[in-house]
Amino acid sequence: MIPARNEEGVIGNLLSDLLIQTCLGEQDEIIVINDHSSDATSQIAASFDDPRIQTIDLADFIDETQLVAHKKAAITTGVTLARNEWIVMTDADCHWPPEVLTTIKNQAGNSGVDLICGPVLVNGADNPLTGFQGLDLLAYIFLTAAYTHAKRPILANGAHLSFRKELFERIGGYAGIDHIPSGDDVLLLQKVRRESPASKVSYLASSRAVVYTEAMTTWSDFWRQRFRWAGKSGHYDSPDLTFAQGVSFLVAAMLVAGTLVAFFLPLLRLPIIVFWLLKGSFEYLILRQLANYYHQKSLLKFYPFATVFQPFYLLTVGIATLLGIKVRWSGRKH
């Protein structure tokens, strides 16, 4: 299931990836939901000569002016039309190595599994900006896997999310959260936990299951993306996620404020330096293990920049969230 808006530059690459998945069956469907694109996204998808690929124009079902949460509407439309038991979600700008679908099917075959979260990493990080995003996704994987393993899942990534169609329909899909423009992944997970607590959520930890996404290549796009993501956080109802976010924001605020104050109070300089070193060392040990496991060791050269930048980034995004800052994304305001 691929919701896509103005993705003519990447949709063809993704469809090519999906068609060479090692266990793609004759009964599987690849559904592209064109979300009112103004470019050739729909035409490129329709040009693939494979009966398993379907291209659906959301405009044929819903007028764009009637929508607030466009991506949620696209996903809902696609799920309604899908014939198979499992829905596998991804984004149009992703790269899928050939064995990803095999790992999903193997996990889905386990008794009682209803929703599967998978790892997403940055494709080809080669500078501090893209390197930070790569390390940030490694940290996201760590939190996703840890909380899911503890049977208290709090995070998911819509670029690699699978669930039973019956589960989606049973909880009413996005009903009740369809007034929120973003959050098609985490908010759906939280709704599953709230309305179907017996459903089993699992994490796909295999290094063969990684889906790769494109990093933002400019600082302006990076900040707009992160402000858009932060806009959904006010709708989270998970105490675990709220606690994790609160601790991260508090640590970031202490580091930034302490560093600024230490310029004027020499007595604070040593404690602040020790605080930075302890935090940086602890996080490095975790990220190094993940980087080794997921074959992302090249990201570690960006860690010195990332560990210094992260508190300032978290503080900025946190303040933007509290202020309710809105940004435009794909020509729409979020």
Give me the mean pLDDT over the 188-198 stretch: 94
Give me the mean pLDDT over the 100-124 stretch: 93
Q: Can you read off the two tokens belonging to residue 13?
A: 């690459």
pLDDT of residue 328 exceeding 70, the answer is no
Q: Can you read off the two tokens belonging to residue 154?
A: 């709090």
Beta-ladder partners of 211: 120
Pairing of strands 86-89, 120-122: unpaired
Burial 119-150 (b: 16+ CB within 10 A, else e): bbbbbebeeebbbbbbbbbbbbbbebbebbee
The predicted structure's pLDDT at residue 331:
55
Cα Dmax for the chain: 70
**Distance between the two ends of the chain, CA-based, in angstroms?**
23
Tally: H helices and E strands in the chain: 11, 11
CB 154 within 8 A of CB 147: yes
CB 57 within 8 A of CB 34: yes
Q: Can you read off the two tokens belonging to residue 297?
A: 């060791």
Residue that wins the pLDDT comparison between 331 and 11? 11
Which residue matches tokens 């759906």?
188
Q: Can you read off the two tokens belonging to residue 147?
A: 């909380």
The predicted structure's pLDDT at residue 55:
95
Q: How far is CA 167 from CA 64, 191, 192, 204, 264, in A?
A: 27, 11, 8, 19, 57
Pairing of strands 161-164, 86-89: antiparallel
Burial class (CB in 10 A: 0-12, 13-18, 19+), 296: buried
pLDDT of residue 164 exceeding 90, the answer is yes
User: Distance between CA 168 and CA 141 in Å, rounded?
Assistant: 23
> What DSSP state is assigned to residue 235?
G
Residue that wins the pLDDT comparison between 328 and 184? 184
The model's confidence at residue 325, banded by pLDDT at 50, 70 and 90, is: low
Total residues found in the chain within this entry: 334
User: Distance between CA 284 and CA 297 in Å, rounded?
Assistant: 12
Query: Which residues make Cβ contacts (< 8 Å) with residue 58, sequence separation at least 6?
Result: 33, 34, 35, 36, 64, 70, 73, 74, 77
pLDDT of residue 1 exceeding 60, the answer is yes
The predicted structure's pLDDT at residue 187:
92
pLDDT digits (tens, 9 = 90+) for 289-322: 999 999 999 999 999 999 999 999 999 998 887 7
pLDDT digits (tens, 9 = 90+) for 116-150: 999 999 988 999 999 999 999 999 999 999 999 99
- Picking from 137, 221, 230, 140, the residue whose alpha carbon sits closest to that of residue 181 is 230
Percentage of the chain with pLDDT > 70? 95
Q: Is the dihedral of CA 69, 74, 77, 78 positive or negative?
A: negative
Residue 80 CA to its chain's centroid (Å): 23
User: Distance between CA 36 and CA 57 in Å, rounded?
Assistant: 7
pLDDT digits (tens, 9 = 90+) for 204-250: 999 999 999 999 999 999 998 898 887 776 677 888 888 988 899 99
Domains and CATH numbers, the chain: 2-217 (3.90.550.10), 241-329 (no CATH)
pLDDT digits (tens, 9 = 90+) for 19-41: 999 999 999 999 999 999 999 99
CB 251 within 8 A of CB 243: no
pLDDT digits (tens, 9 = 90+) for 244-278: 888 999 999 999 999 999 989 999 999 999 999 99
Question: HEC string of 303-329?
Answer: HHHHHHHHHHHHHHHHHHHHHCCCCEE
Least confident segment among 47-56, 165-174, 317-326: 317-326
The model's confidence at residue 333, banded by pLDDT at 50, 70 and 90, is: low
The model's confidence at residue 182, banded by pLDDT at 50, 70 and 90, is: confident
